[in-house]
Amino acid sequence: MSSSTASDRIQLTTDRLVLRSWTMAEATAVLDDTRSAEWADDFPAEGDRVIAGLFDQYPAWLGEHGHRLVIERDSGLVVGSIGLFWPPSEGILEIGYGIVASRRGRGYAPEATRALAEFALTAPDVHTVSAGVELSNPSSIRVLEKAGFHRWATEDGTARFRLTSPDHGRR
């Protein structure tokens, strides 16, 4: 994973993906059902619509440590979204993700989740990235396990996962 130059500082690149911040124009297009040639045929999914509708309420989600589009490097198409629910609470930042059905099973979700979580752990005052997954969603549980997250609690049908900075507790 690498961070880009200052001009596009909020873009992350992995072996197969680019994670870059949403623009308000893209959020508007999602909400207006305006198709883009740069989107996979099944983007946006319902979760993408929900996030796009919340940017006005949570403008920090458009920032460096917010939500991003997941772009397939080979095709250049948007194939999902992933995001950090900024700001952190007591050093903990929640992550959420979704890959469109046509691109699932390729390992994109764990690759994107690992990259964004590692980036999040470099943010000031962040020592843990967490996620909650319904037990009825074993695919999402596997995404977090493959991304290096560890289950630390299960209650009310939800498994709680976290990835903690190796430095946390040694400061």
Amino acid letter, 107: G
User: In this structure, is residue 160 part of a structural domain?
Assistant: no
What's the token pair of residue 23?
A: 């623009």
**Range 81-87 contact pairs with CB under 8 angstroms and sequence separation of 24 or more:** 81/22, 81/44, 81/47, 81/48, 81/51, 82/19, 82/112, 82/113, 82/116, 83/51, 83/116, 84/116, 84/120, 84/129, 85/58, 85/61, 86/58, 86/60, 86/61, 87/60
Q: Is the pLDDT of residue 28 over 50?
A: yes
User: In this structure, is residue 109 part of a structural domain?
Assistant: yes
Residue 168: which pLDDT band, with cuts at 50, 70 and 90? confident
Distance between first and last Cα of the chain: 26
Report, as an integer, the average pLDDT of 33-58.
Answer: 97
* DSSP-derived secondary structure letter, 122: T
What are the pLDDT digits (tens) for 117-157?
Answer: 999 999 989 999 999 999 999 999 999 999 999 999 999 99
- Residue 46, domain CATH: 3.40.630.30
User: In this structure, is residue 63 part of a structural domain?
Assistant: yes
What are the pLDDT digits (tens) for 52-89?
Answer: 999 999 999 999 999 999 999 999 999 999 999 999 99
pTM over 0.95: no
What are the pLDDT digits (tens) for 99-113?
Answer: 999 999 999 999 999
User: In this structure, is residue 146 part of a structural domain?
Assistant: no
Strand-pairing partners, residue 17, are 72
Element (H, E) at 12: strand 12-13
The confidence score (pLDDT) of residue 141 equals 97
User: Which domain does 116 fall in, by range?
Assistant: 2-125
Q: How many CB atoms lie within 10 A of CB 3?
A: 14
Q: Is the pLDDT of residue 7 over 90?
A: no
User: In this structure, is residue 104 part of a structural domain?
Assistant: yes
User: In this structure, is residue 155 part of a structural domain?
Assistant: no
State the total domains in the chain: 1
User: In this structure, is residue 114 part of a structural domain?
Assistant: yes
User: In this structure, is residue 165 part of a structural domain?
Assistant: no
Residue 169: which pLDDT band, with cuts at 50, 70 and 90? low
